[in-house]
């Protein structure tokens, strides 16, 4: 199984997922998931039947420090795409 680890955050308008190699943005998490699926297909060309995992860890540096105490777990996501 292939895995990519990315960070993500919301800029007030869109959800943005990024790592060293790619950046994907969309207005909703559902749209972001779809765009990530297509970007993975384009960049990594997984073979038919392959499973590709994208781990998304929320970027805490994008929210005020005082808020972290109320959201210590905030959000982490694991997406598994079957091709």
Domains defined for the chain, CATH in brackets: 2-82 (3.30.2390)
User: Using an 8 Å Cβ cutoff, are 37 and 81 in contact?
Assistant: yes
> By CB neighbour count within 10 A (0-12 exposed, 13-18 middle, 19+ buried), where does 25 fall?
middle
User: What pLDDT was estimated at residue 67?
Assistant: 72
Tokens read off for 67: 């808020």
DSSP output for 21-50: S-EEEESSHHHHHHHHHHHHHHHH-PPTT-
In whole angstroms, what is the distance from residue 3 CA to residue 41 CA? 13
Per-residue pLDDT tens for 20-40? 989 999 999 999 999 999 999
Residue ranges for the chain with pLDDT beneath 70: 1, 68, 70-74
User: What pLDDT was estimated at residue 42?
Assistant: 94
């Amino acid at each position: 199984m292939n895995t990519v680890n990315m960070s993500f955050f919301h800029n007030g308008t869109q959800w943005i997922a990024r790592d060293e190699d790619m950046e994907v943005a969309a207005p909703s998490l559902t749209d972001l998931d779809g765009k990530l699926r297509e970007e993975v297909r384009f960049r990594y060309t997984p073979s038919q039947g392959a499973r590709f995992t994208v781990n998304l860890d929320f970027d805490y540096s994008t929210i005020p420090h005082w808020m972290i105490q109320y959201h210590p777990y905030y959000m982490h996501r694991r997406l598994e795409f079957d091709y």
